[in-house]
Amino acid sequence: MPSHAPDHPDPLARERAHLTASRAALRAMRADVEALDLRDVAANWVNAEALHHQVSERIKALADLADTPLFFGRLDYLHAPGAETAEGAEGERFYIGRRHVHDADGDPMVIDWRAPVSQPFYQASKKAPMDIELRRRFGYTGGELTAYEDERLSDPDEAEQTSKLLQSEIERPRVGPMRDIVATIQPEQDEIVRQGIGGTICVQGAPGTGKTAVGLHRVAYLLYAHRERLARSGTLVIGPNRSFLHYIEQVLPALGELQVAQATVEDLVTRPSLGAVARGADSADAARIKGDARLAEVLRRALRSYVTRPTEPCVVVRGSRRWRVPAYELEEIVEELLTRDIRYGAAREALPRRIAHTVLVRMEQAGEAPDDRVQDAVARNAAVKAAVKAIWPPVDPAKLVLRLLSDADFLAEHAEGVLDADEQKTVLWAKSARGVKSAKWSPADLVLIDEAADLIERTPSLGHVVLDEAQDLSPMQYRAVGRRCSTGSATVLGDIAQGTTPWATASWEEALIHLGKEGARIEELTQGFRVPREVIAYASRLLPAIAPGLSEATSIREAAGDFSVRAVSPAELDTAVIAACHEVLRHEGSIGLIAADARVPALAQALDTAGLTHLTPGEETSAGSRLTLVPATLAKGLEYDYVVLDEPAAVVDGEPDERTGLRRLYVALTRAVSGLTVVHGAPLPERLTA
């Protein structure tokens, strides 16, 4: 890479000059795109609109964010990459950043972190220098380059040591939405990020190991390496709730990727056009049964029951001739289609053509010479249409599920040998005259409708799907997600220990089977970068009870973090929690007050009385408002510099069973980046007192 900065005896001044020149080059790149004249380029208005959209997105991607470093590292190669490593071969220097920047001649000034030439920035070490002479990391303050740090990987006499700038970046206070980790990706994370698009990968990650960030950076990498393919097929990030999606939504745009959709599982399966919108809720037992994979078989049976065995012949009149297809031949056609087990809608579309083919055979036997046009005409014949409607009627997936859940006899007929009588009774609605539009569908019901819809018509598949907090999905939810990447790949992220639904998966192998990705590679991340050592050690006391097979996470953070457990009388609990909030607000960074959902109203009132302005999860941070009151059920995936945890026993008691409650508590305990204060009036769970 040619130098774009003047020689200067001060290395820091030289690097600042390169930053200034790179920013100027980025502005020039943006100006070139803005100056494009598109008036005579597109042949029609559709192409013109598409081209204008592409240019607009390109302009957005070239935005220079003042508080986001344009480059964060530098690599000095011993030899030119790709060249023979003969003695005397000249090496090259590359600045590594979030996006590619080139000068007016097209020469690179900043190399995209995803490019192959950038990989040694994350992977090179003293033992495996990867032809790197020097790796330089840069430190920034408010967007200004203020420091650098060098590692001479080719020098055997220089001891390998922990990067202070890297450590500082990892421990930097968190304020606002989640940020990218592109400057701090570790070797084991980088290996996952750069996995090819051909296969699905599942990442089991303990709290603070960066699994969510790894998944998002993997999307960014795949879009870089397979942009045209994914532009056609699409990508999607699936999160557990809107608060979580709001928290992570700025990561990909910061990396220059603006076209990745985000959704929850409920978003995917909501079908307003069918009247399928969640307005109700199930009991834990009903939701667990509806989420069981056995319901897929019940739905399949119920749908096939709409196919009626023909008892009358189909008579097609063409001109003066009548062509008769007897009932037994119609039954043979129907049986063959059922045996093939193709989708209900596809079979329904095939049936008239099969009947028409039988008629054409009759015509040929009678000496006629019909062609494809005749077959099409016969398939559209009124008699054939009537026969198809009688034999293979159209089915509305929402009405099918409504009938199953409201008609005890219909459910019993198709759940025989699959669900026992008690399970059938649990999922049945109380008798009422509700229709599809007025039905109070639950989230689990919407998944059943989605399954039924896929049994009728194939769900379109995306190129790649990232599924985060995947441990909480039911088998039927896994199937719903799997349909969205049936011909693509997936990145599955989660932590078995953080499964907080009664139907949470027991193993990733089982989850991947339901997802339709059996045999996918499973990676485990146990090295933590977020949670302080003392905090993760305290939370890990729960692991034997909630996930005995998992390894305990370790933390590389040098700072031990602030950690305290305070016992007070029940009457003093609210006062003690408010006092703890006052204390942590003296520190820089974000503050999360996490409490059992039932405790949130009382704490909100106590905060208001104390004059402490507070936010809700997903709400934008505003001046003077760094404190967020977080219901324990929404804490998953979020992080705060300091956490005050209110009454752990209430968090546990707020769940339908102890294991789920202890897992919810484990989540709440591991949201802290710099410090955790636990305040309790009731006795702590036994595992935390050991």
Q: Cα–Cα distances in Å, from 262 out to 244, 466, 494? A: 10, 9, 17
State the distance between the two ends of the chain, measured CA to CA, in whole angstroms. Answer: 59
Lowest mean pLDDT among 68-77, 273-282, 622-631, 681-690: 622-631
Q: Got the DSSP string for 329-358?
A: HHHHHHHHHHHHT--HHHHHHHHHHHHHHH
Cα gap 251→510, rounded to integer Å: 30
Note the pLDDT of residue 89: 43
Give the residue numbers of the binding site for ATP.
205-212
Distance CA 169, CA 360 (A): 75
Contact call for residues 216 and 637 (beta carbons, < 8 A): no
- For residue 470, the SS3 value is helix
Q: Which residues contact 117 (CB under 8 A, 6 or more apart)?
A: 75, 81, 94, 111
Percent of all residues in the chain with a pLDDT value above 70, rounded to a whole number = 91
Sheet of strand 101-102: strand arrangement: 101-102, 108-112, 93-97, 71-77, 132-141, 144-151
Per-residue model confidence as pLDDT tens digits over 261-308: 999 999 999 988 888 889 899 999 999 999 999 999 999 999 999 999
Domains of the chain: 11-161 (no CATH), 201-270+458-528 (3.40.50.300), 314-391 (no CATH), 533-689 (3.40.50.300)
C-alpha to C-alpha distance for 9 and 312, rounded to whole angstroms:
96
pLDDT score at 433: 43
- pLDDT (tens digit, 9 = 90+) per residue, 519-537? 899 999 988 877 888 999 9
- pLDDT confidence of 416, banded at 50, 70, 90? very high
Binding residues: 205-212
The model carries a pTM of: 0.86
Mean pLDDT of the chain: 89
